[in-house]
Amino acid sequence: MADDLQAAPEGADNDSFHEECGVFGVWNVPDAAAVTALGLHALQHRGQESAGMVAYDGEKFHSHRGLGSVGDNFGDQKVIDRLPGRIAIGHNRYATTGETALRNVQPLYADFEFGGFAVAHNGNLTNANLLRRTLVRRGCLFQSTTDSEVFIQLIAISLYSTVVDRLIDALKQVIGAWSLVALSNEAMMGIRDPLGVRPLILGRIGSEGTGGWVLASETCALDIVGADFVRDVEPGEIVVINDKGVESIRPFARKAERFCVFEYIYFARPSSLMEGTSVYEARKRIGRELAIESSVDADLVVPVPDSGVPAAIGYSSQSGIPFELGIIRNQYIGRTFIEPTEHIRLLGVKLKHSANRPILKDKRVILVDDSIVRGTTSKKIVEMVRLAGAREVHLRISSPPTTHSCFYGIDTPERSQLLASSHSVDQMADLIGVDSLAFVSIDGLYRALGKPGRDDAQPFYCDACLTGDYPIPLPDQADNADRQMSLLAEIR
């Protein structure tokens, strides 16, 4: 989901897609709201700026949405008590720019002639501006500035009669990445876009036969509520969950999957399994590839915590160079990106990490991190490690250079702010102030993940942020209305 849609002028390049989200839902579970709060808590890394929930008690829908973390919003039992019933869905949202207004906090909810409908969205729609303009011309009154509201408006004007048919009608008009958890009076639904860019999984909770169902962005949310993993919701699939069980609907023609590779590199929680693969193990394997491709003589392998830890373990085990926690992270600080201005970001890095001086002094250090975005973090960390007495600093990055913005639901700044979009590796090394800098190659990344890569007929992952190959068209990014229309015509 992204917001600021109203602010985007006709045909303008819209750099407001700075959203990351987590979604969760339960069907037929005692204390559904408390369980959902736990699930959202496990998914907190996917979004820390707002949290919301819609619960259904069989007669009425109840909701609570607020700015801040899951704990800020659902840590109080009185709030949970106001969300009765055995059914609930929830959403975490993380926006670094754009509006963080309460009206954009999800799940979104609307009353229709068929009953209530709530939806929580992870991903970004790439034709939301276009759709919104069309819908406004048709008289739709938008209540928020988030792209996800087009789902609600399209369902509202659909001529089909059932909820599921209206939903399918809406899905056929949107372009982009979407993993949705939706709720009506009759069912909870889990939906993934045809390329399956963002994750969504199905789990079982309670005893077979009488138990309930869980939908979540990641398996770490199943673990916390004691649910068992059943399977991924498949790309292009709608699962409809009610008291009769789970029905699978496939309204789209089958396409080859393009799951987001950045979920493995950075975004997902290491304890999660994605598509049957442990995120932690995948990161370690990327670290090993990095050591094979870019070895250097040194005394220590030091991760930039927390994101660089698994890759550093992999690098150390492959190279035989000892792993040490040469940088200690303050656990009480949010992610660096949470503060939008450059000044605060610089401050944030210092607050977040401190050097472990006795470990670093007089050592040749290999620093490992998962990615370089603007280069701010690396520059500060390298400075700190040198001040602590390190003799040499070699930076190793467990992703290829991030050269392009993501329009499918990972927060990235606009392209001009991505260091790698305008600097060579040597230039970046100079700027960051390291003795050497190396990124894992795109082939090394695919080797580590064990999936068809760039030399195969079609790469398994969406790697647009690393290659500029966008597998889903970006009509809202087209620089003029004619180009937008011709892009849409190509798609249809």
Binding site for ligand AMP (CB under 6 A): 266, 304, 307, 335-337, 369-378, 410-412
Of 459, 42, 489, 12, nearest in space to 260 by CA: 459
Strand order in the sheet with 50-56: 61-67, 50-56, 87-95, 19-27, 212-216, 201-205, 228-232
- If the CB atoms of residues 179 and 371 are measured against ligand AMP, the closer one turns out to be 371
Angle between helices 128-137 and 149-157 (to 10 degrees): 40
- If the CB atoms of residues 255 and 329 are measured against ligand AMP, the closer one turns out to be 329
Of 262, 28, 303, nearest in space to 123 by CA: 262
- Quickly list H helices, 401-470: 419-422, 425-432, 442-449, 464-467
Tell me the C-alpha distance between 70 and 35, whole Å: 12
CB of 468 within 8 A of CB of 412? no
Q: Minimum distance between the CB of residue 187 and ligand AMP, rounded to whole angstroms?
A: 33
- If the CB atoms of residues 318 and 377 are measured against ligand AMP, the closer one turns out to be 377
Q: Taking the C-alpha atoms of 117, 122, 128 and 132 in order, what is their torsion angle to the nearest 10 degrees? A: 30
Q: Minimum distance between the CB of residue 260 and ligand AMP, rounded to whole angstroms?
A: 11
- If the CB atoms of residues 204 and 335 are measured against ligand AMP, the closer one turns out to be 335
Catalytic choice (21, 220, 462, 465): 21
Q: Minimum distance between the CB of residue 129 and ligand AMP, rounded to whole angstroms?
A: 22
Q: Minimum distance between the CB of residue 410 and ligand AMP, rounded to whole angstroms?
A: 5
Tell me the C-alpha distance between 171 and 419, whole Å: 36
72 DSSP 8-state letter: H
CB of 26 within 8 A of CB of 88? yes
- If the CB atoms of residues 168 and 466 are measured against ligand AMP, the closer one turns out to be 466
Q: Residues in the chain, how many?
A: 492
Q: Taking the C-alpha atoms of 474, 24, 94 and 473 in order, what is their torsion angle to the nearest 10 degrees? A: 0
- If the CB atoms of residues 94 and 117 are measured against ligand AMP, the closer one turns out to be 94
The widest CA-to-CA distance across the chain, in whole angstroms, is: 72
- If the CB atoms of residues 338 and 488 are measured against ligand AMP, the closer one turns out to be 338
220 assigned to active site: no
Residue type, 307: S
Q: Minimum distance between the CB of residue 87 and ligand AMP, rounded to whole angstroms?
A: 32
Kindly list the catalytic residues: 21
